Amino acid sequence: MIDKNIITELENIVGKSNVLTDPSDLMLYSYDATQFYRVPDLVVVVHNSDEISKIVKLTRKNNVNLYPRGSGTNLSGGSIPADGGIVMELNRLNKILDIDVQNRIAVLEPGVVAATLDAEVSKKGLFYPPDPGSIAVATIGGCVAEGAGGLRALKYGTTKDYIIGLEVVLPNGDILQTGSLSTLKGSPGFDLTHLFVGSEGTLGIITKIAVKLIYPAKARKTFLVMYDSVGLAGTAVAKIIENKIIPSTMEFLDKITINAVEDFKKIGLPRDIEALLLIEIDGETEDVEVSAKILEDVCMKVGARSISVAKNDAQRLDLMEARRSALPVLARLKPTTILEDATVPRSKVPEMLEKIHDIQGKYDLMIGSFGHAGDGNLHPTILVDRRNKEEMKKVDMAIKEIFDYCIDLGGTLTGEHGIGIVKAPFMEKEFKKEGLSLFRDIKKALDPDNKLNPNKVVGAKEVHLDYI
Amino acid sequence: MTTSNDNTLPLIEEYYEEQIIQCMKCGMCQSTCPVYYEDSLETGCARGKLALSEALLHGKLEPNHKIEMIFNKCLLCHACAQACPVGLSPDKVFAAARAEMVKRYDMPWIKSVIYRKLLGQGKLSSLTGAISLANRLKLFSLARSLSIPKMLGKSVERLSFIDLPDIPSKPFMDRFPEVLEPKVKPIGTVGYFVGCAQNSVFQDVAEASVNVLLSLGYRVIIPKGQGCCGFPHYGAGDFETLKQKIAQNSSAFKKHKLDAIIISCATGGSGLKDVYPEITKNDDITTLGAKVYDISEFLAQKHLKDLKKIMPKNTKEKIKVTYHDACHLNRLQGVASQPRDLLNIMPSYEFVEMENSTKCCGEGGGFTVYYQEISTNVANRKRETIKNTGAKIVALGCPGCRAQISGALKQDGLNIDTRHTVCLLWDEIKKANGK
């Protein structure tokens, strides 16, 4: 329960209509795309850094937890008010403040939807590469906070590679500018910008973002390659890169996913293949032609069963259909879809997949895997019914085993979804005592009272959440 | 939390629990929802309302008026379904949820008059004379300029926003006989589903539809016993009246042996094609006796070549026309290319696409009254995209969109006409015949 006086003060800051306290409103800010939930005590809709600063000070003074939130499409539980308190809705800060074509920099507010940024800069002949699956709805603020990736990460990197400066409201209410909003280069002191990139709203609330932009490639070519074993597909991925070709996209689908695509889309994929690669290369027109030739040779030499090349945009869309529909078709197999994000060294992808296959058998679960083969970033997708409590217990155990093995292989808990609340318990396994302790010291230095998105990432306290 | 029988939600449960549970909370519905676009609140998008449905279903929340209003905050435009990776139809869940709320609270008196008396008992057509007279005397615009509607409340204020064409003093079905014979030996017999709007206010559409069908050589039957399609009741959660309407229309159309049933109202068409099967668990042939077609779907698919032959020659200048995709035609019936095919064969017009032609116009039955500001904002965006094309006419296939869009255009003083595609087609045929 939030004290009446605090509600009145909040109403004075943002106006009455921007303070939500009705139980039905609160229910709608209780979840994210993990489908875990916890109903907040209040939701406040904010419009600028000044309001945010005042609210941060107010909640800190009154010992109330505060949880920043964008579109709530994250897959880490990071925006769930897991320990009660106030959700701060940031999607009204949605202006693109500047697109500087000469310096190739855009400055924007955190509530801008990623697809909107992409569309606006492309109108000016520029390119913002990070393209998370939720690009149509995810806010840039959320992408920065969670370190979002996408299909183009192998060649172009993820969100963190494009952030040059930020404006952040700190847990004490100070408004800070990090890095630069106008120069691409700079090395003054600690890289505070990247302290906040991926901080998942635990260290401050991002209110302004400067991103660097690049020019789009002139040509591209798309391939769909089929293999009779996961091992062969893995070898192909390694050989392509050994041959100095860095595809912009190199995506993988396993047999369960391929069959689910065929069940629902009937695009004519052979049901008995074990692995499918969707590869796209881009660059200067002549380079693309040369690389295409090498790529086709390599894929066949490794033992591809077949390879399709798109001759035009329509064919390209056809080839991409299998990958594009991977998650949607898997999600139709069972009522509940749990999307994981295990990432291993590229060379260990076949081993990781084999392990996932074992785990699936051991717990009698349905798990389809697809993902970014070039980055070693897999999305094992567990298909269950969250009404079945027994099955959900098995899910917890299966996820733990996947993470344990992933870290044993030299991998990481998350390639692009962030830690949030759901992976916080595994952080010590990845970073050891010393690492986690430094994480916690940093958190404490900035937010000594642990009021800003508490317990996320550094997992100070174990919090149990139920599925919605 | 109570466990009384009052709190069970059989409709939500019966129809759609599986849909509710399948929502993976990914939020992709935000990307296409016109309501969410306006206010960015989770109450707008489908994910939020599905979460609410589940909370009700599992007793985490109890139904109340506030929740009723959240379920009313949906245009039933079906755009969320198009974005949904899992392929859900959230709008159907919300219609069922509204029905729950109606069962619990019944309807406010004004809604009850509109849905049960005017539409449900067919009383709208008996008011045609009065509406016609008021319209001719420009009483609606006079009332608007005196701000009378504002004083009388939201429902009436809404009425003054829309813009009406000239209306005959008698309803369409009183003006036309039940059976119309073509001049030639009939090539087939089709039934015409008139619908409330075409029977009273937009009679030009019914006339043009029937005339085009006759000129192609069809015998046209306008079954006397037919009534409202029931979609408004579906949208308002009045499933009882909806079921009565299905029974009434079923018996009216089954009296005749028909090759097809033609309708020129987008909403009515999606009612017959989409809502009826949902409620009856039967297809249109079983329920109504023949396959249902939207007029532009029927004409473009079966008679595009025939129509081309009866188009006027020697048209001197072309008038720019653009096309608005009604949600209930484009998304619920998949009719999108057909009206464009028709526009493209009309020599008097140059067809230009508008940006975001499939975006909702903001007309959504009760929504328009409950959430007037959002509705008007959505309409104004549509107006801007229309304005940008430089077109003189907006073609469309839905009376709701026509009222909404013509209202938005007139409020901005724009001299752009809103016409049903089939009216433009009939004009061309008349022109070719030198009339």
Q: Is A136's CB within 8 Å of B42's CB? A: no
pLDDT average, residue stretch B181-198:
96
pLDDT the model gives residue B105: 77
What lies within 8 Å, CB to CB, of B10 at 6+ separation is: none
Chain B residues in contact with A337 by the CB 8 A cut-off are 24, 86
Given this structure, which CATH class describes domain B310-432? alpha beta
Residue B120: pLDDT above 90?
no
pLDDT at B13 over 90: no
CA A392 to each of CA A327, A330, A466, B435: distance values in angstroms, whole numbers, following the listed order = 20, 18, 11, 73
Tell me how many degrees the CA angle B224-B230-B234 measures, rounded to the nearest 5: 175
Distance CA B48, CA A168 (A): 29
Report the C-alpha gap between B228 and B265 in whole angstroms. Answer: 11
DSSP A95: -
By C-alpha distance, which of A231, A214, A226, A150 is closest to A417? A150
Instruction: State the pLDDT at residue B137.
Output: 64
Confidence of residue B357 (pLDDT cuts 50, 70, 90): very high
Predicted pLDDT of residue B1 = 35
In terms of Cβ atoms closer than 10 Å to its own Cβ (0-12, 13-18, 19+), residue A410 is exposed
pLDDT tens digits, B261-270? 999 999 999 9
Q: What pLDDT does residue A189 have? A: 86
Mention every residue, 6+ apart, whose C-beta is less than 8 A from residue A292: A221, A223, A281, A309
Sheet holding A205-212, edge to edge: A96-100, A105-108, A205-212, A163-169, A175-179
Query: In the structure, what pLDDT confidence band is assigned to residue B3 with cuts at 50, 70 and 90?
Result: very low
| DSSP assignment of A418-435 | --TTTSGGGHHHHHHHHH
Nearest CA to CA, how far is B20 from chain A (Å)?
Answer: 9
Residue type, B110: I
The answer to whether residues A307 and A299 touch, using CB atoms and an 8 Å cutoff, is yes
H or E segment at A168? strand A163-169
From residue B18, give the alpha-carbon distance in Å to each of A331, A365, B50, B90.
Answer: 13, 20, 11, 11
Residue with tokens 């390599």: A298
3-state DSSP helix/strand/coil % of chain A, to nearest 5: 40, 20, 40
CA distance B227 to B186: 26
Contact at CB, A24 and B70, closer than 8 angstroms: yes
CA-to-CA dists, residue A248 to A269, A275, A304, B174, angstroms: 23, 19, 20, 67
Residue of A32, A71, A265, A465 to mutate, testing the B interface (most B Cβ within 10 Å of its Cβ): A71
Q: Decide the pairing of beta strands A105-108 and A163-169.
A: unpaired
Beta bridge partners of A406: none
Whether residue B61 contacts residue B97, with contact meaning beta carbons closer than 8 Å, is answered with no
- Give whichever of B6-15, B107-116, B377-386 has the largest mean pLDDT: B377-386
3-state helix, strand, coil in chain B (%, to 5): 60, 10, 35
Residue A339 CA, chain-centre distance (Å), reads: 11
**Domain regions of chain B by residue span:** 5-104, 310-432
Minimum Cα–Cα distance from B61: chain A residue: A24
Which whole number is the average pLDDT over B46-54?
94
- Residue B343 banded pLDDT, cuts 50, 70, 90: very high
Asked if B43 lies within 8 A of A25 by C-beta distance, the reply is yes
User: How many CB atoms within 10 Å of residue B20?
Assistant: 26
- Reference B355, options B325, B398, B331, B328; nearest CA is B325
User: Per-residue pLDDT averaged across B93-122, rounded?
Assistant: 75
Output the CA–CA distances (angstroms, integers) from residue B373 to A322, B39, B164, B189, B367, in the order listed. Answer: 42, 10, 21, 45, 10
Chain A, nearest residue to B21 by Cα: A335
Between helix A313-324 and helix A255-265 the angle, nearest 10°, is 120
The answer to whether residue B1 neighbours chain A at the CB level (below 8 Å) is no
Nearest to A343 by CA among A301, A304, A376, A381: A376
| Residue B140: band (very low, low, confident or very high) from pLDDT cuts 50, 70, 90 | low
> Which of B13, B17, B18, B25 best tests the A interface by mutation, with the highest count of A CBs <10 A?
B25
Lowest mean pLDDT among A324-333, B133-142, B159-168, B377-386: B133-142
B413 exposure class (CB count in 10 Å sphere: 0-12, 13-18, 19+): exposed
- The percentage of chain B sitting over the pLDDT mark of 70, rounded to a whole number, equals 84
Cα distances (Å, whole numbers) of residue A333 to A367, A384, B390: 11, 9, 48
Fold of B5-104: Fumarate Reductase Iron-sulfur Protein; Chain B, domain 2 (1.10.1060)
Question: Pick from B68, B95, B74, B80: which is nearest to B233 by CA?
Answer: B95
Angle at CA of residue A55, ends A53 and A60, nearest 5°: 100
Amino acid at A27: M
Going from the N-terminus, what domains does chain A have, and what CATH number goes with each? Answer: 96-212 (3.30.465.10), 219-325 (3.30.70.3450), 334-408 (3.30.70.2740)
B127-145 burial code (b ≥16 CB/10 A, e <16): ebeebbebbeeeebeebbe
Across A435-444, B148-157, B248-257, B321-330, least confident range = B148-157
Cross-chain CB nearest to A327 (options B18, B31, B85): B85
The whole-number pLDDT of residue A37 equals 95
Closest CA of chain B from A121, distance in Å: 19
The model's pLDDT over B215-248, given as tens digits with 9 standing for 90+, comes to 999 999 999 999 999 999 999 888 899 999 999 9
Compute the average pLDDT of residues B113-122: 67
Sole residue written with tokens 């064969």 = B345
Beta strands in A186-227 (DSSP E): 205-212, 219-227
**What's the ipTM?**
0.93
What is the Cβ-side half-sphere exposure of residue A74, based on CA atoms within 13 angstroms? Answer: 36
Contact assessment for residue B135 and residue B164, using Cβ atoms and an 8 Å cutoff = yes
Structure tokens that stand for A450 in this block: 């642990």
The enclosing H or E element of A66 equals strand A66-69
What is the structure's pLDDT at B113? 65
- The DSSP result for B108-141, as a single string, is -HHHHIIIIIIIITSHHHHTHHHHHHHHHTTHHH
Select from B23, B29, B30, B38 the residue whose CB has the most chain A CBs within 10 Å, as the one to mutate to test that interface: B30
Q: How confident is the model at residue B148 (pLDDT cuts 50, 70, 90)?
A: low
* Close Cβ partners of A390 (under 8 Å, ≥ 6 residues apart): none
Asked if the model's pLDDT at residue B419 lies above 90, the reply is yes
Are B40 and A92 within 8 A, CB to CB?
yes
Q: With an 8 Å Cβ cutoff, are B86 and A331 in contact? A: yes
pTM of the model: 0.91
Count of other CB atoms within 10 angstroms of residue A468? 24
Integer Cα distance of B51 and B379 in angstroms:
28
| Amino acid at position A31, single letter | Y
Looking at residue B40, its pLDDT comes to 93
Token pair of B267 as six digits = 């909403």
- The pLDDT score that the predictor gives to residue B318 is 93
Question: Rg (Cα) of chain B, in Å, rounded?
Answer: 21
Mean pLDDT in each 10-residue stretch from start to end of chain A (468 residues)? 95 97 97 95 98 98 97 95 97 97 97 96 97 94 96 95 97 95 84 96 98 96 94 93 95 94 88 94 96 96 94 89 88 91 92 92 95 93 92 94 94 92 92 96 96 92 86
pLDDT higher at B62 or B158: B62
3-state secondary structure A300-313: HHHCCCEEEECCCH
The yes-or-no verdict on residue B350 having pLDDT over 90 is: yes
Helices (H), A22-162: 23-27, 49-61, 114-123, 140-146, 153-156
Exposure of B73 in the CB half-sphere (CA atoms within 13 A): 26
* DSSP at A374: G
Q: pLDDT confidence of B402, banded at 50, 70, 90?
A: very high
How big is the A-B interface in CB pairs under 8 Å? 86
CB-based contacts of B59, cutoff 8 Å, min separation 6: B1, B3, B7
- A117 and A94 in contact (C-beta within 8 Å)? no
Whether the CB-CB separation of B168 and B203 falls below 8 Å is answered with yes
Banded model confidence at residue B2, pLDDT cuts 50, 70, 90: very low
Residue A264, pLDDT score: 87
Q: How far is A134 from chain B (nearest CA, A)?
A: 7
Longest dimension (CA), chain A: 72
DSSP 8-state secondary structure symbol assigned to residue B43:
T
Under 8 Å between Cβ of A225 and A276:
yes
Reference A375, options A415, A408, A418; nearest CA is A415
Residue pair A173/A56 in contact by the 8 Å Cβ criterion: yes
> What residues of B are in contact with residue A387 (Cβ under 8 Å)?
21
